[in-house]
Structure 1
Amino acid sequence: MSTGADDRRTVVRATLLVHPDPSSAVDARSHDEKTLALIDAAIEGRIPPDLEESTIGGRQVKHIPIETLLHLQGVYRTRVAAALADDDAFGTVEAVFGFPG
């Protein structure tokens, strides 16, 4: 084994997924994820009181017919799934680990 300063070898290749700090109070969900959650809540009849006056597509949530909510649910599920499937949404970052000196 060479000990030259320029001698480099790949030992392991792996994927490192960094999650947001769970202790932070920031809602990191996208607009589509938040809207889908609100639509799901409306369909299930459990809209939180502070969100009852929310609007989706220019209409108040509590006044949207169930057929429209079901359609919107499909639209937003597709949008959320497409965003999650985008593996390279933030680009690729290469990290190199080694021993000093």
Structure 2
Amino acid sequence: MTILVDEARWPWRGRLWAHLVSDESYEELHAFAASIGKRRAAFQGDHYDVDTAEREIALQSGAVAVNSRELVSLLRAAGLRKRGRSHADGGA
């Protein structure tokens, strides 16, 4: 059971953003996201977007840094990947 976060490299509204996912379950992801102050409404189907500051909090709270390709690969292997929204997979 691991929470993963990729690089904060996607610009939006003047900040850089990363993706926060679980390789185990959405329940694990929601619990972790809540523990670092993310609202459930911010859930993006299979991930939470986190800005640079939130990424650092996630890492300090036990998330594991991975590159974007690894994040998508592990999300797919867990059967938790939803198609069509993640920048990490080349989508918009």
Greater RCO structure (CA 8 Å; 6+ sep):
2
**Rg larger in 1 or in 2?**
1
Is TM-score (shorter-chain normalized) higher than 0.5? no
TM tier, smaller: under 0.3
Q: TM-score, normalised by structure 2?
A: 0.24
Q: Which has the higher strand share?
A: 2
